[in-house]
């Protein structure tokens, strides 16, 4: 998913923890959420999946969003090289 690639690190980590928790619990039961809380070391409320919908407005096109991502990635790479 292109939105996941662009997500902040804490969001990506929460998605990975979510999917790993599904290897044990195939639902969203209290046991699932308990395991998720153990697996994810950050604030789950902050990493809520709603980030995906809040991060792009309906007037923003995919290409605009991708361009912002590429610009951010380029600037991060340049700062690592210096």
Mean pLDDT within 71-81:
53
Instruction: Please state, rounded to an integer, the average pLDDT across all residues of the chain.
Output: 75
CA atoms of 76 and 73, how far apart (whole Å): 5
Cβ contacts of 54-60, under 8 Å, gap ≥ 24: 55/3, 55/6, 55/7, 56/3
**The whole model's pTM is what?**
0.60
| Tens of pLDDT, residues 49-71 | 566 666 655 445 555 555 565 56
CB–CB of 65/6 below 8 Å? yes
The reported pLDDT for the residue numbered 59 is 42
């Amino acid at each position: 998913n292109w939105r996941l690639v662009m997500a902040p690190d804490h969001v990506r980590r929460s998605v990975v923890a979510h999917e790993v928790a599904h290897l044990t619990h195939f639902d969203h039961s209290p046991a699932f959420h308990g395991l998720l809380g153990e697996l994810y070391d950050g604030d789950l409320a902050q990493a809520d999946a709603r980030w995906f919908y809040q991060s792009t407005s309906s007037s923003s096109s995919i290409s605009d969003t991708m361009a912002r991502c590429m610009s951010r990635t380029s600037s991060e790479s340049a700062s690592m090289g210096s």
